[in-house]
A and B are shown apart, each in its own frame.
Chain A
Amino acid sequence: MKTLTPMLTTICALLAFGCAPADEKNPADDGLSCDASLDSDGDGIDDCSELDLGLDPASDDTDGDGMADGAEIDCGSSPTDIDDTCYQCGWGRNDPGNITPTGAALGDVMENLSLVDQCKETIDTYDFAGEYHILYMTAAF
């Protein structure tokens, strides 16, 4: 019996895993039904994906911050955080949150700057991480 117990445990675990994969989440299992072909609120996210993401499929602006859920996901903003919105000029929020500034010389990681853009909004420069940029400094006159 001592030798059978681990084997039975393994078989049971394998059976359990095969019957109910942990990564196959179905909103219907939570008592909620959905249709992946529908986007009831017209925010660009289908109803099932809304449920998976914890969004309201009947509201195009789940957090009530004035921006549609789909637009917030596209720009990297949280559609469930009223204080997190897309930039007015449409820049993505691409700060990975793990950038550590090292200095101001060539080769250094520059610090995160807060600058006002042409939409008169304060922008964090780390939100432009993930792509190359050429910073061109000049005067308006």
Chain B
Amino acid sequence: MTVDSEDFTEIGKPLPRREDRRLLTGQGRFVDDIAIPGALHAVFVRSPHGHARIREIDTVEALELDGVVGVFTGKDLNAWTNPLRLAPPIEGLLPTKMTTLPEGKVRFHGDPVACVLAVDPYTAEDAAERVAVTYDTLEAVTDAAAALAPDAPRVDDDLESNLVSRQSFSAGAPAARRREAHAVVEAEFHQHRQTHAPMETRGCVAVWDEGRKHLTMHIGTQIPHPLRGQLAGRLGLSESQVTVVSPDIGGGFGQKIALYREELVIAALTRHLKRSVRWREDRLENLMAASHARENTCRTRASVDRSGRILGLEFEITEDFGAYCFYPANYMSRVVAMILTGPYRIRDYAYEVKVALTNKCGSGPMRAPMAITSWVMDGTIDAIARQLGLDPVEVRRVNMLSPADFPHTMPTGEVLEDISPAETFEAAVKAVDVSAIRRRQGATCDDGRLIGLGFCTVVESTTYGSHFYKSAGIAGSGHEAAWVRIEPSGAVNASVGLMGSGQGYETPLAQAVAEGLGVGTDDVRVHMGHTDIAPYGMGSRGSRGATAGGGTLYLCARKAQERVLTIAAAVLGLNSADTASLRLRDRRVQRRIDDAWQDTELTLRDVARTAYLDPTALPEGVPPGLDVAMTYDPPPMTYSNATHACIVAIETATGRVVIERYLVAEDCGTVLNPVVVRGQQQGAIAMGLSGALFEEVVYDASGQNMSATFADYLLATACELPNFEILHMNTPSRQTPAGIKGMAEGGVMGAIGAVTNAVNDALAPLGVVANRQPLSPQYIRGLIRSAENTKNPRRHGS
């Protein structure tokens, strides 16, 4: 299904986004903007403890308050809803069960224990303060190592230990390679807990139609249909009794995928009371209790020859998953292990993946759930270079897959093709002028700064097809669904199961439809986020939007064009075999005569009128109407690739890391809309840098969340982030419609690796290594201080 991208007329155009006008003029429609008369407001009562038994919940005082409609606890909700059971047939994964609200004990600071409904949010909050919950506190476990100790308190009483998931794998003979090696290089990588922090917090409005016995859920969700299925299942309703409507979403980044307990409570109470209910999470709740992400510790052991060539690699990852499993616990870390080797030629490889439950907020996928992958791999390369005294650029070259290596089967069995890591790497090396930086580093002038250069080459798993899910042991499907409908007037409507959360789907997806159909992008309107309108699709996660969503729409639109041309051939009095000599361009049917396309004077509107209003004129076998639907399952995995380069200056006196320059060479195949793609590249790098340098969810030893305000959970501002230089490269996929590969998460992967590698390049002369994030000034200064004290133990630290 190869397509020459140079033939595209709509795909690849830098069109401005069509959602911008409403968002720029205050006419966006986010969940909170939807007025539902008479809706009650919900506020949740949350655990102040990290781990405690609930002895008693006294709601009397709360109920006495004017305007309070009810206070509901686990006892109520668990009778009205079904629990979430997660028991996919995955080896090494313990089955888990979660009730809608806890009854026996709370497992983290912020765990919801009761829901107050009142006529306005102020009164609801007054009442929530009056709900008296008596707890018997329990010892909390707040890190993975403690959680995996033999006598650790158990987070989930139903499980025999906190080790909720464990898988291992080996290909070749890494232990034998270790014995043969010139050197064995060990490295450690600690990634800290982070959270998505979309600017719009979670929230929903539920409306129950008692006459129709139907629930309408207005909620900003990335996956409307799967969420509908979850809601129906947990409420004991049929999927035909639930409609999920997703309005404009103020960012998701993976946080708006799961059906959270709070949302289910709202839906259940709406049905129970037969009154509309709305909930808007506040920022403290969002930072404390929505979903966290990323916290894991990795170790690598690389067996290498004299040139730094990796003969064998062993990898361990231990993830701190928090208190509850909203996803199968192997979901994220195992993908890291499966794709770790990325752009490098490694045959002998083994991994062990462990996931621990702790008394913290549950974890979920956050933009690049496999974020640590490239830092671990390229950080290992840098560790090899440091230990062997080699040039890190050369060690990369020695190990990197070359164009002749593709298709390349990774040791885990995943196949890489149509990617260009060596090309992006060399482009980045050339652009940064490595020797100039080495000269700067070698210069003797001491201005109190250390300069460092870091590279990170990313092979980004973008579109997860059903085959990958199956081989990774993740329950789910990777297919997507679309319809394209040409209305009797010739207007083009289309729909797909994706739901954007700010990326700007409306324009690029319209471009994919326009390209496939042969109309202008302005002629197409793509409808998303309504389960009664959109076809059942898997929604937005990973970087599947362009390939799965755009690809399905493109294929569907091509099918629609074929239908149009079949009818056109009949109207023009041609044989059906002559359809091949017709095409639709800019809403007009053209015919190829002597290698030139000529206008037939037949328009899409004419064909549509025939299809709908004059069906007896249609050729035999062509149904009336112009309505085409299809589903499409992408290949097991598509990959994009990039090389990030970062130059930092560290102020030795303070430990502050300043980014002097940041560039990325990226190859994500066919681009639907370069404006949107560039925005995704910038946004992903920004999120990676913000996470690696500033953000950190902090718990104290008793399980208190210490970072639940925006003054404590530090998102980078405009003053901490640089401009990004982006070099575009283009190797279309030969396996996907239009050569699309997808992107939008690799920026995170590359950023956290490149900035940390740059910091370690700068610190190398001191003989210290930063192996944990965030790269806070106090942490970096601590490393520098330890080096100073080693060099001159009597000297004062300053």
Q: Do A and B come from one complex?
A: no
Residues of A within 8 A of B (CB): none
Residues of B within 8 A of A (CB): none
